[in-house]
Amino acid sequence: MVMGLHPQYLSSFWKTQYLLLRMDGPLPYHKRHYIAIMAAARHQCSYLVGLHVGEFLQVGGNPAWLQGLHCAPRKLRNLSEINKLLAHRPWLVTKEHIEALLKPGEDSWSLAELVQALVLLTHYHSLASFVFGCGINPEEEQDGGRGCQPPSPHGDSSPAPDDSTGGCGGRDAMREVEMLLERLKLLQESQLEEEGVTQEEMASRFELEKTESLLVAPSDVADPTPQSNVLCFVEDPEFGYKDFTRRGEQAPPTFRAQDYTWEDHGYSLINRLYPDVGQLLDEKFQVVYNLTYHTMAMHCGVDTSVLRRAIWNYVHCVFGIRYDDYDYGEVNQLLERSLKIYIKTVACYPEKTTKRVYTQFWRHFKHSEKVLPPPSPSLQGLGGAQH
């Protein structure tokens, strides 16, 4: 299992997964699996859809619902809009979306039911990104290499492509590692010496990075054709990620991470309405943020905290989320373009991930260093809807 590359994360993931799907909760088991199907289908993840179709039937779900979303009860169909937004453009979620689902009526949701449903949706959006990001989703082999083999937890050697394992390519890849290590050390040293950057400059650097992220995309990858057994669980299939800021368009205001924090708002709310899951989600977030083996390709004993924070904050940046206390100039210093392409692809449109996108960055790094559990911007976007 690919998650076996990260035993600590695997343990946290299984505890969360077990609580969401197997333990007592406001939603019946078959509806939990159907919601998982709906979430995975938004990202065209046939692997997860197929897995939960089987689970849905095993716990007594109505086979007729599997003909498509139109055959499911209206109460479940009403989740389609917020599922769509959380999967692709979480910054568009508002409190009105929540209120509409809670509005009294025959097909209304209780608050406890809705919290469980929304946690399931965001959990499976994130899991779909992980599945595509490490090549698990079974697709036909294409020229772009979409049928790549997932890395084995027992074989954690460098995943370098054939053209970079020897000769000039191999030397170039090794030089990339040394240059990154040098930039990392210089950045850490400068952080100790500098008095700090002004808030105005911080904001300016974020807007610059957000604008530059428009140009980061896998340009040679055609949009995958959705499979009919996945498409039937999706409404408005053309709806997808749209860059948070486009030239010539009025952008929504940047979402300040400090306005809604997991620690101050999300944890207590979820724990009150869905006991225990808040603690497990908190544990999972902490594992993702702090995950390191203090290695960088062939080097050991490396402090990777600055690099990990740059990756974490870049993921949130492409969703319009800004950390006031972070200097986004560090992102450009540490993240090469090919890495940005991989991060943005996996986070924003994971179904477009190909073998080429995976192999082009960090060519001498181990699989365990490249296959990273993703953060969940959609959960943070959901939090913003409460204000």
> Mind telling me the catalytic residues?
45
Contact 235, 42 (CB under 8 A): no
To 10 degrees, the CA torsion angle through 101, 38, 116, 61? 100
Three-state secondary structure call for residue 322: strand
By C-alpha distance, which of 302, 304, 309 is closest to 330?
309
Contact 319, 381 (CB under 8 A): yes
To 10 degrees, the CA torsion angle through 219, 48, 126, 233? 80
* 280 contacts: CB under 8 Å, gap ≥ 6: 12, 15, 16, 19
Q: How many helices (H) and strands (E) does the chain have?
A: 18, 4
* Bridge partners for 321 per DSSP: 255
User: 105-133: buried (b, 16+ CB within 10 Å) or exposed (e) per residue?
Assistant: eeeebeeebbbbbbbbbbbbbbbbbbbbb
For tokens 């497990």, the residue is 280
Three-state secondary structure call for residue 385: coil
Q: At 36, which helix (H) or strand (E)?
A: helix 29-42
Distance CA 51, CA 29 (A): 14
Tokens of 54: 């089987």
Three-state secondary structure call for residue 321: strand
Contact 297, 362 (CB under 8 A): yes
User: 26-49: buried (b, 16+ CB within 10 Å) or exposed (e) per residue?
Assistant: bbebbbbbbbbbbbbbbbbbbbbb
Contact 292, 309 (CB under 8 A): no
Tokens of 304: 């990777």
Tokens of 132: 């595509």
